[in-house]
Structure 1
Amino acid sequence: MTPTAPFPRLQRGLVAILRGLTPAEAVGVAEAVHAAGIEAIEVPLNSPEPFSSIAAIARALPATALVGAGTVLAPADVDRLSEAGGRLLVSPNIDAAVMERAARHAMVTMPGVFTPTEAFRAVALGASALKFFPASVLGPGGIAAMRAVLPKDLAVGAVGGVSEKDFAGYKAAGVSLFGLGSSLFKPGMTAAEVGKRARAAAEAWDSAFGQD
């Protein structure tokens, strides 16, 4: 299986999950998140007109930003994501056809896994990073047990029921990436409100992990 693109080195291992974002507010919210120090932004495909939002964000932010989609379940959606200028593909599951299409477009992939079997299947399919989901169910202990047998250089993320309050515990489990959803953004929030939460998350990251 052809591997997908390697996970890039980000200033902070944070991915903003903007579920429910609308195209009208997309650029303002994304710019506030990026200005706060979060370079990776995911718009789940069960949001209103997600590809329009992704395209607008990709045009507005610097080329170094990692912009993409979450809840990607079908190869056709991978093609649409690429057309919109997205480079990051996040899913709640691991699907061979989706991963193959993502590799064709040289995307950064973060498929969802919950068990050792799923984790190693994702590795075999060339995942850039793993998304342990829902992380709040596994907890740091569950992830640590699986992290011990996974490739040492593999980026591992915790998503689902995770906020900046949990960084230290998951760091001890070998987690280096965090997807922040409702703790960061909920539909109806202003860009200023989201920016304030994003800054708090970035500060918590710097406190837990340090900053180069």
Structure 2
Amino acid sequence: MNWLNELKNHRGIVAILRGIRPDEVEAIAEELIASGITLIEVPLNSPDPFDSIARLVKLAGGRALVGAGTVLTVEAVERLSELGSQLVISPNTSTEVIRRTRALGMFSMPGVFTATEAFVALDAGAQVLKFFPADMLGASGIAGVKAVLPTDTEIAAVGGVDENSFAAYRAKGIHNFGIGGTLYKPGRNVDEIGQIARRLVVAFDSAT
């Protein structure tokens, strides 16, 4: 599958469900999908993350792309592949993780912060570069690094991004975002998550 083409079929908001439990993940995912957020990440430092991801893969049924965050090892990549996970997202630049992800036919989004890390990740086969923590660089800082990368490089801003900052990033040509604590925190109920998700979608769609 051409994952970059597939990504363009989804709004560029990745819901980061850090700390989510398997018993709540399906109801929350249904709310996110209904709100228009169809990229969903369960970080592997959540409770029983592989159980949650397996449930999400079954639930999504082509309506959403599902994957894991905080993926640090090749072993985790291989387990995710067995579950049918589609997205492999990391906070760091591990060439072994990137290469194994691509070899198993999944989508690779490693974390980078510098031009050096960005080029290392691209050389290993990364498809989207996750600039993290984005708020440390800001839209202008990421755009400065982006200027020296190949022109077709896809970038996501993650960390400290919310509905109020979409426009600033998009004005710099950055159109993908990871949204964590702004959207989901352990204990937040489904209705509140849905309300926040809809606000994020409106802000994203309105930003130019």
State TM-score, norm by structure 2: 0.95
Higher relative contact order (CA 8 A, sep 6+): 1
* Offset from partner CA, 1:15-65 (integer Å, 9 cap, x none): 000000000001001111111001100000000000100110111113141
Q: Distance in 2 between matches of 1:171 and 1:6?
A: 18
The answer on whether the counterparts of 2:10 and 2:39 sit within 8 Å (CA) in structure 1 is no
User: Partner residue of 1:203?
Assistant: 202
Q: Distance in 2 between matches of 1:154 and 1:66?
A: 20
1:67 aligns with 2:66: yes
1:124 aligns with 2:123: yes
Q: Distance in 2 between matches of 1:174 and 1:121?
A: 21
User: Partner residue of 1:169?
Assistant: 168
Counterpart mapping for 1:26-65 below 5 A: 26-65=25-64
Q: Distance in 2 between matches of 1:200 and 1:59?
A: 27
Q: Distance in 1 between matches of 2:59 and 2:130?
A: 27
The answer on whether the counterparts of 2:26 and 2:55 sit within 8 Å (CA) in structure 1 is yes
Structure 1 residue identity aligned to 2:15: A
Q: For this pair of structures, how many residues does the alignment match?
A: 206
Q: Distance in 2 between matches of 1:92 and 1:41?
A: 16
* Offset from partner CA, 1:55-92 (integer Å, 9 cap, x none): 10111113141100000000000011112221001000
Structure 2 alignment gaps of length 5 or more = none
User: Partner residue of 2:10?
Assistant: 11
Q: Distance in 2 between matches of 1:59 and 1:26?
A: 12
The answer on whether the counterparts of 2:17 and 2:40 sit within 8 Å (CA) in structure 1 is yes
The answer on whether the counterparts of 1:147 and 1:174 sit within 8 Å (CA) in structure 2 is no
The answer on whether the counterparts of 1:112 and 1:133 sit within 8 Å (CA) in structure 2 is yes
Percent of residue pairs bearing the same amino acid type: 51
User: Partner residue of 1:184?
Assistant: 183
User: Partner residue of 1:95?
Assistant: 94
TM-aligned CA deviation for residue 10 of structure 1: 3.1
Give the root-mean-square deviation of aligned CA atoms.
1.3
1:78 aligns with 2:104: no
The answer on whether the counterparts of 1:147 and 1:173 sit within 8 Å (CA) in structure 2 is no
State TM-score, norm by structure 1: 0.94
Give SS of 1:164's match: coil
4+ residue runs over 3 A deviation: 4-7
Q: Distance in 1 between matches of 2:198 and 2:183?
A: 10
Structure 2 residue identity aligned to 1:100: R
* Offset from partner CA, 1:163-204 (integer Å, 9 cap, x none): 111001111222110000000000001111111111110111
